[in-house]
Amino acid sequence: MAVTATPAPTPPVVRTPIGLANQAIQAPYLDWANGQVLAVGAAAVSSVAYAGPAQGGQTDTVFEITSTTNCWYSVGNTAEAHTAGSQYLIAGATRYVYIPGGTTLSVIEDAATGYLSMVPALLY
């Protein structure tokens, strides 16, 4: 009886995101399990304060945020439309926002309701 060798499994292909001029793009490792979705409306709403894994005693985190509607957001304060202290985010755009540990993100609509997704990035 002939013995046949089992082929070694093929390792997965890992692709590095490539940008302009063939340079690698840094992509954050997102903590999908701890993401939040906020209903954006005429009254400001706030996220739940995120206390991520401590990194050298720090729980500060960068969040990836995106929205289905044009909106205004603020970190640590109540967002107000068309005022200083709040940042504007257009629908479909993605932004990375630093949020200190225990602080919330507040959001309010510009003119229409929608949703804002915020996903923390894990730092290693």
Per-residue pLDDT tens over the stretch 63-107: 999 999 999 999 998 989 888 889 999 999 999 999 888 889 999
Angle, vertex CA 15, rays to CA 64 and CA 34, nearest 5? 30
User: What's the CATH fold of domain 28-122?
Assistant: Jelly Rolls (2.60.120)
| Residue of 52 and 64 predicted with greater confidence | 64
pLDDT of amino acid 23: 67
pLDDT band at 33 (very low <50, low <70, confident <90, very high): confident
pLDDT of amino acid 73: 96
Average pLDDT, the chain: 82
| Residue of 11 and 48 predicted with greater confidence | 48
For residue range 83-94, list pLDDT tens digits in order: 888 999 999 999
CB 26 within 8 A of CB 96: no
Is 60 exceeded by the pLDDT of residue 57?
no
